[in-house]
Amino acid sequence: MKPALLPWALLLLATAPGPGSGPTADAQESCSLRCGALDGPCSCHPTCSGLGTCCLDFRDFCLEILPYSGSMMGGKDFVVQHFKMSSPTDASVICRFKDSIQTLGHVDSSGQVHCVSPLLYESGRIPFTVSLDNGHSFPRAGTWLAVHPNKVSMMEKSELVNETRWQYYGTANTSGNLSLTWHVKSLPTQTITIELWGYEETGMPYSQEWTAKWSYLYPLATHIPNSGSFTFTPTPAPPSYQRWRVGALRIIDSKNYAGQKDVQALWTNDHALAWHLSDDFREDPVAWARTQCQAWEELEDQLPNFLEELPDCPCTLTQARADSGRFFTDYGCDMEQGSVCTYHPGAVHCVRSVQASLRYGSGQQCCYTADGTQLLTADSSGGSTPDRGHDWGAPPFRTPPRVPSMSHWLYDVLSFYYCCLWAPDCPRYMQRRPSNDCRNYRPPRLASAFGDPHFVTFDGTNFTFNGRGEYVLLEAALTDLRVQARAQPGTMSNGTETRGTGLTAVAVQEGNSDVVEVRLANRTRGLEVLLNQEVLSFTEQSWMDLKGMFLSVAAGDRVSIMLASGAGLEVSVQGPFLSVSVLLPEKFLTHTHGLLGTLNNDPTDDFTLHSGRVLPPGTSPQELFLFGANWTVHNASSLLTYDSWFLVHNFLYQPKHDPTFKPLFPSETTLNPSLAQEAAKLCEDDHFCNFDVAATGSLSTGTATRVAHQLHQRRMQSLQPVVSCGWLAPPPNGQKEGNRYLAGSTIYFHCDNGYSLAGAETSTCQADGTWSSPTPKCQPGRSYAVLLGIIFGGLAVVAAVALVYVLLRRRKGNTHVWGAEP
């Protein structure tokens, strides 16, 4: 197993002065060109701030910036913090991103250095360097976070007023003026220019020549007042611009020349350019769109089948929301945001596969109705559609079809406009973007650690381990996945330490991915997230694309980490400690070790030591304590951060498992009668909750443990496998009722007028995953229902005639003249 970052930290601690000592000045004690370095008499590594070992010019060369994020479309002005130029007019600032993309910066009147973010074809953390000598040297370094255009706040972009109208312009009943608005303060200038930029991907698909390109097309307005709004009447663009069908508007300072790259700007959302299309489109938009739809079909038929390598959709909404390692909310259809599902009518929530497929960079989408049923394109135009280009892009980005947002627009969204929105030919689109019906979906396996701390393994074994130190929660050689945790004692209300411990930090790495650590912040007791031992800020973004993983922070109290393998971690604050849940796809079966057990459907071997020896079920708490101590982290492979002298002295220099710490075992727990009564009422039969009340003397800690345990149990319930029989077709010349295809569901069949049903009227999904009956046929001829109607109708007529006859016969017996009065 490869060593992590810590060997360099050990080098630092071996050479750095003690706390309170400062470095002396000489030529080697500078962070110029050394950001991130740990060697030498002073440090340029992020951990140096807490240790007091930074070089004196650390903040001059290892840059903090504000804002730290912006759209990958570029044009965002950001300021270097903690550093000012003494002679602003003499500086020539060049900012270089990814060692190749240069933009012009400037120094303002107060001496602060500014950079402008460039137009990029990728999202994620982008390294940049700064030159103050007109590009001769770039000794200062920092990181810029480029984000998906849809994750940028409205303050940072221009808004298309009634965006749907823009994208339907020229179709039936859509004409007149269009408007856009923006926040004037976001672009401080007197006059502006509004430009149209177009996006295209050229070259042979899936070849080395396949390239992505944004191009400046033409201005909509020049040198107009920066009023915050603009209205115009679109006219068809010249023929030379008609090949661009998707693009965005850019607003810049009029002092810049038209199409000037990488200047401060506001962009609109990328959108279908219906409003600039030719007269042919406006004269007959349906015919024009049908031609484009057919051309898209012909192209699709020449491209490789990307559907085969996509993950299977979860069968239910609860599964989709619980499988957070592989699926994440689709911002275009989110039940937490009111279920505004424009492209998926009938759905209340959609998820996307987090990771793009390896070979083709494609993505899966899964949508669900209000009752949790998967919505399929075979049943509804609102069904979920897979994507040739993953909306969030795919590493290494920059080339088709891996460009975030834009590749997806070209291959999946624009074609939806052609076939479904501008022309009534949606079945043609759905035929090539069919929903996955979940028959092969397998839920992930779940393990958790929480409270004092208590563990529930992947195979369902429960135990408590109260060690003080740093421990291996999980190791999986399959993908070189490692999850480690730090456990520290709790504190009683009187300030003394408890004999119980809890998790205070969790770190994860998979292969050569970034290292992410989530820990309890010392002051706020909220969550603090570190990337490669540097504390991250989430004041601007709650989602980050990282190397080998994605990271999401919800409301500051829950962090989700989604790894390339499909494994996922969720870390949250529960009471005084962390709660961590780990999700593993089925491929990890038989490949795991550590405190979270051996995933192999056999709970009897969950207590496996490093040596391979297995402790039997029923092992005493004292023996389990030795089992936990056996899974200590080693300094050479530690993923955890030591950025304070407390952590250095208590965890780095000390044994990884504290042999002097004496935990509280269940047989030793005692409560005074009043607290015992309250605990019984609070905890009921939750033994984890009862133990934590006894160990800490705190009912609130017991409550937090019970909540964490219940969350685990609910998630386990959500991830229970369900049986799907797969989609069942309606009969030709007939219909079916029902769109749920899980075990126990029944589908009903009917024939159109003029046809009769040959076969079963219903079919039920059985526990073995098969339908009780195949789809019946509708044969020419009157249906049985119609025939029965005729038969019963005819019988009714005969009965009525007979009744009249009887009545008349009786009447005739009383009179001699037919119809005469009595």
For 139, the token pair is 């000794």
Query: How far is Cα 299 from Cα 119, in angstroms, rounded to an integer?
Result: 29
For 566, the token pair is 């499909």
Give me the mean pLDDT over the 377-390 stretch.
Answer: 94
- In DSSP terms, 112 is beta-bridged to 84
90-104, 216-230, 569-583: least confidently modelled range: 90-104
For 361, the token pair is 């960079």
8-17, 523-532, 609-618: least confidently modelled range: 8-17
Residue 498's pLDDT band, with cuts at 50, 70 and 90, is confident
Q: Are 493 and 480 in contact (CB under 8 A)?
A: no
Name which of 773, 769, 774, 717 is nearest 743 in CA terms: 769
pLDDT value for 491:
81
Q: What is the pLDDT of residues 139-166, one digit of tens each?
A: 999 999 999 999 999 999 999 999 999 9
**b/e string for 298-323 if b means 16 or more Cβ within 10 A?**
eebeeeeebbeebbbbbbbbbbbbbb
Question: Could you write out the three-class secondary structure of 143-209?
Answer: EEEEECHHHCCHHHCCEECCHHHHHHCCCCCCCCCEEEECCHHHCCCCEEEEEEEEEEEECCCCCCC
For 507, the token pair is 């770190």
The DSSP string of 772-821 is SS---EEEES--HHHHHHHHHHHHHHHHHHHHHHHHHHHHHTT-SSTT--
Name which of 342, 349, 343 is nearest 320 in CA terms: 349
DSSP letter assigned to residue 635: G
Give me the mean pLDDT over the 679-683 stretch.
Answer: 91
| CA 541-383-404 angle, 5° bins | 35
For 310, the token pair is 């996509």
Length of the chain in residues, anyone?
Answer: 822
Q: Are 469 and 651 in contact (CB under 8 A)?
A: yes
Q: Which helix (H) or strand (E) holds 574?
A: strand 568-574
Q: Are 771 and 763 in contact (CB under 8 A)?
A: yes
Percent of the chain with pLDDT over 90: 81
For 320, the token pair is 């989709």
Query: How far is Cα 697 from Cα 676, in angstroms, rounded to an integer?
Result: 10
Query: How far is Cα 84 from Cα 436, in angstroms, rounded to an integer?
Result: 56
205 against 83, higher pLDDT? 205
pLDDT value for 804:
46
Tokens 């079909």, residue located = 297
415-419, 588-592, 718-722, 779-783: least confidently modelled range: 779-783
For 271, the token pair is 């959108």
pLDDT value for 601:
97
- In DSSP terms, 70 is beta-bridged to 146
Rg (CA), the chain: 34
pLDDT value for 794:
53
> Which residues have CB under 8 Å from 496's CB, separation 6+?
none
pLDDT value for 668:
81
For 802, the token pair is 């007979």
**b/e string for 80-89 if b means 16 or more Cβ within 10 A?**
beebebeebe
For 529, the token pair is 């997230």
> Which residues have CB under 8 Å from 234's CB, separation 6+?
169, 178, 275, 276
Q: What is the pLDDT of residues 238-288, one digit of tens each?
A: 999 999 999 999 999 999 999 999 999 999 999 999 999 999 999 999 999
Q: What is the pTM of this model?
A: 0.90
pLDDT value for 23:
41
169 against 86, higher pLDDT? 169
Name which of 158, 226, 145, 228 is nearest 197 in CA terms: 158
Query: In the sheet that 527-531 helps form, which strands lie side by side, from edge to edge?
Result: 534-535, 527-531, 516-520, 497-510, 481-491, 469-476, 592-593
Q: Are 272 and 245 in contact (CB under 8 A)?
A: yes
Helix axes 687-696, 673-683, angle to 10 degrees: 150
Query: How far is Cα 526 from Cα 556, in angstroms, rounded to an integer?
Result: 7
Based on the number of CB atoms within 10 Å of its own CB, is 517 exposed (0-12), middle (13-18) or buried (19 or more)? Answer: buried
Upstream peptide bond of 396 is cis (omega within 30 degrees of 0): yes
Query: How far is Cα 699 from Cα 12, in angstroms, rounded to an integer?
Result: 43
φ and ψ at residue 373, rounded to 5 degrees: -80, 140
Residue 523's pLDDT band, with cuts at 50, 70 and 90, is low
Residue 671 has pLDDT above 90, yes or no: no
Q: Tell me, rounded to whole angstroms, the distance of Cα 225 from its chain centroid.
A: 40
Q: What is the pLDDT of residues 281-321, one digit of tens each?
A: 999 999 999 999 999 999 999 999 999 999 999 999 999 99
Q: Kindly compute the dihedral angle of the four CA atoms of residues 225, 226, 230, 236, in this order, to the nearest 10 degrees.
A: 70
Residue 433's pLDDT band, with cuts at 50, 70 and 90, is very high
Query: How far is Cα 343 from Cα 421, in angstroms, rounded to an integer?
Result: 10
pLDDT value for 507:
98
φ and ψ at residue 778, rounded to 5 degrees: -110, 110
Residue 449 has pLDDT above 50, yes or no: yes
| CA 274-275-278 angle, 5° bins | 80
Q: What is the pLDDT of residues 770-812, one digit of tens each?
A: 999 999 999 998 644 444 444 455 555 445 545 545 444 554 4
Query: How far is Cα 363 from Cα 474, in angstroms, rounded to an integer?
Result: 28
Half-sphere exposure of residue 396: CA atoms within 13 angstroms, side-chain side = 2
Q: What is the pLDDT of residues 21-43, one digit of tens each?
A: 444 434 468 999 999 998 888 99
Q: Are 778 and 785 in contact (CB under 8 A)?
A: no
Expressed in percent and rounded to 5, the helix, strand and coil fractions of the chain are 25, 30, 45
Half-sphere exposure of residue 188: CA atoms within 13 angstroms, side-chain side = 3
Name which of 777, 781, 794 is nearest 753 in CA terms: 781
Residue 497's pLDDT band, with cuts at 50, 70 and 90, is confident
> Residue 771: how many CB atoms within 10 A of its CB?
18
φ and ψ at residue 504, rounded to 5 degrees: -120, -10
Residue 815 has pLDDT above 80, yes or no: no
Helix axes 699-718, 673-683, angle to 10 degrees: 20
Q: Tell me, rounded to whole angstroms, the distance of Cα 656 from its chain centroid.
A: 35
- In DSSP terms, 213 is beta-bridged to 200
Residue 333 has pLDDT above 70, yes or no: yes
